[in-house]
Structure 1
């Protein structure tokens, strides 16, 4: 990782502009060129907001994705959407997200689309910030696929997806991507009741082809569908096994949990760099610059400045753009203030 103390970064997603939501809900009214222009305009807007804030690391805002991982299923052969079991009404929860039946061998002969996203970001981004790509890991991606006679449980589905994810990671590196996040929030959500050593083995085998070839990170959170968590929100079950993940940086949600278990950042910092979520994406309270300064100083008690990055807890896709923009501006201003005082 570039030797920038208190590096400012993001997880991946950014809110869709209103026009992109309109296009996505009325695709039959637009031609292919119209759709691509709308996507490029949305990526330009996401880049603008991130670079105006002054982030050290930016993404394309995942402007071509639905719900951070559901869009990836459109690239995978052997599945069909299942809407019969999806709850349609009532308060939002994860059972309103789509699922898929497996009807054949899982394969993605044309990749998962992440390389195209990164190439677009390279074309549109200014020089200066580091460009990051993110992709869900196989255990998380397996979560919306229903087992069948061939793939009998989530772990068997995960094993089938693992080489697909690994190939996409290799393609990103080949395209010149130097910063990659593998999102595995399902691992952090279910660490309290699952085999965490098995999780680590799955993760390490997934990223093995690109280890040492980029700045590799993982994002571990407790869910953010419609601004709501889904998992048991504790870091403790991840330890000590998650310390064996082969990553350069681990991203941990903190702000939404009022910095509970902040002392558990220390063992992670002994093994890797730590990106701390200091901005609450589930709350419309706009953290002030002083708030950010105080939170970073709390983190510095457990993570050295040269190993610390700061970011929002999760992707910002579920947070209104006006709030996302100001939260990032204040986060960067606070980080620069602390950085200047070191």
Structure 2
């Protein structure tokens, strides 16, 4: 796949979009689960309650439908289902990949535990991971659906490796499986796939491994399928500009939480890919005003022109109260639409790094 200035973005412009300019609005992935869904999961784990797998599946469908419609109501151009069926970003996929096994929870920080899996045997792709989820969400939404997938580097790094000579070797094998999954998703109609690699921020010196993984992932993916990479909470100067060589169209970066202190990292050399800019902070329950978010969006226009800017939260919003997550999302969309109108009217002077 060649990602050099292939326009994979225009397909997400709504047919009735009111402005000539178009800032693609989307979310990273996770969203707060309804309280009743968490209760349903508890009931399903209690053998004495008679709440079986079919009942739990219905509850997950209901939650996915509800949150997808909430994203539509907020006005997003590309939606997700809030990852209502996913328990945790590594566990969910490890449970579906042959070769993984679980041995109990591991304490990760404070009082938080993570059911860290082990790779006990050669990994293999034996069934689709997300196709049913994608098809369900597509059936609910009246607009494009984005598919977030935990990346192979994170799947390898956040697991115990008991079967491969190195973590890199495991990551490359997992990348081939992600490629198979994307092929299945594309066949089902997916045109926007985001690879989540939060582990890269904790070990940025391994960006070459992530780049090789992405080469495996992108192999054979059609040109019209938009591939994004989400990285959060790290020192971006340690991976930039090397990441520009990776075969993706869009980089989704957390910057609002750090008050855009790292914005200048991406000005030299020129940022040549699309930028999905975090414009609301997912670590605070304070709902940013439309005006505040508009100021944040303008920071993105210091890096890329409007036709290469995506507007997004910093990261998944699952830890926020649900009403706060919705208000942040809705204000984000309103801010993007107002900036588009001001760009149309010539009220905003764009001076992105490539013009300086």
- 2:29 is matched with 12
Tell me which protein shows more helix as a share of its residues.
Answer: 1
d(CA) in 1 for partners of 2:227, 2:335: 25
d(CA) in 1 for partners of 2:327, 2:98: 40
CA-CA distance at 1:240 after TM superposition = 1.9
d(CA) in 2 for partners of 1:253, 1:262: 10
Pick closer, same or farther for the CA change 1:235–1:214 going to 2, 3 Å.
same
d(CA) in 1 for partners of 2:209, 2:94: 24
d(CA) in 2 for partners of 1:199, 1:144: 14
What whole-Å deviation, never above 9, does each CA across 1:220-262 have from its counterpart, x for those lacking one? 112xxxxxxxxxx211001121010111111010111111111
* RMSD, aligned CA: 1.9
Pick closer, same or farther for the CA change 1:25–1:269 going to 2, 3 Å.
farther
What whole-Å deviation, never above 9, does each CA across 1:125-169 have from its counterpart, x for those lacking one? 1x2x32111111111111232122x31332122122122111001
- 2:55 is matched with 34
d(CA) in 2 for partners of 1:235, 1:186: 13
What whole-Å deviation, never above 9, does each CA across 1:253-277 have from its counterpart, x for those lacking one? 0111111111233358642110001
d(CA) in 1 for partners of 2:270, 2:255: 15
Q: Is the 8 A contact 2:125 2:180 kept in 1?
A: no
TM-score (norm 1): 0.89
Pick closer, same or farther for the CA change 1:328–1:302 going to 2, 3 Å.
same
- 2:160 is matched with 146
- 2:310 is matched with 309
CA-CA distance at 1:75 after TM superposition = 0.8
- 1:228 is matched with none
d(CA) in 1 for partners of 2:307, 2:36: 40
Q: Is the 8 A contact 2:90 2:158 kept in 1?
A: no
For the pair 1:130 / 2:144, whether they are aligned, the reply is yes
For the pair 1:58 / 2:79, whether they are aligned, the reply is yes
Determine which of 166, 183, 187 is the counterpart of 2:196.
183
Determine which of 168, 174, 195 is the counterpart of 1:155.
168
Question: Gaps (5+ residues) in structure 1?
Answer: 223-232
For the pair 1:73 / 2:94, whether they are aligned, the reply is yes
The aligned length equals: 322
TM-score (norm 2): 0.85
Q: Is the 8 A contact 1:188 1:220 kept in 2?
A: yes
- 1:87 is matched with 107
